[in-house]
Amino acid sequence: MYICICKGITDSQIREAVCSGASSLRSVRQQLGAMTQCGKCAAQTRQLVNETISEI
Ligand code: FES
């Protein structure tokens, strides 16, 4: 499922980034480019990052 439409980033990519060491929202943004355009994906990305961190 697409989380960031602007950059075409999926939930799987975000989970993968977190599992590969992107341990914060900022790291995910820097690594994938999510939230760098309209910003509408920020809340969903934050939730997904927090969920993934709590699972690992
Ligand atoms: Fe992610 Fe626009 S949907 S920056």
pLDDT at 21 (0 to 100): 96
Q: Which residues pair with 10 in a beta bridge?
A: 2
Q: Are 29 and 36 in contact (CB under 8 A)?
A: yes
Report which protein residue has its CA nearest ligand 1's atom 3.
4
Residues in the chain, total? 56
**Which of 41, 44, 46 for a ligand 1 pocket mutation test, highest count of atoms within 8 Å of Cβ?**
41
The domain locations on the chain are 2-55
C-beta atoms surrounding 46 within 10 Å? 13
Per-residue pLDDT of 2-45, as tens digits, reads: 999 999 999 999 999 999 999 999 999 999 999 999 999 999 99
Pick the closest to residue 18 from 2, 32, 8, 38 (CA basis).
32
User: Cα separation of 45 and 1, whole Å?
Assistant: 12
CA–centroid distance, 33 to ligand 1, in Å, is: 9
pLDDT at 17 (0 to 100): 98
Using pLDDT thresholds of 50, 70 and 90, give the confidence band for residue 46: very high
Say if residue 56's pLDDT is above 90: no
Task: Decide: 40 in ligand 1 pocket, CB within 6 A.
Answer: yes
Fold assignment, 2-55 = Arc Repressor Mutant, subunit A (1.10.10)
Task: Decide: 42 in ligand 1 pocket, CB within 6 A.
Answer: no
pLDDT at 27 (0 to 100): 97
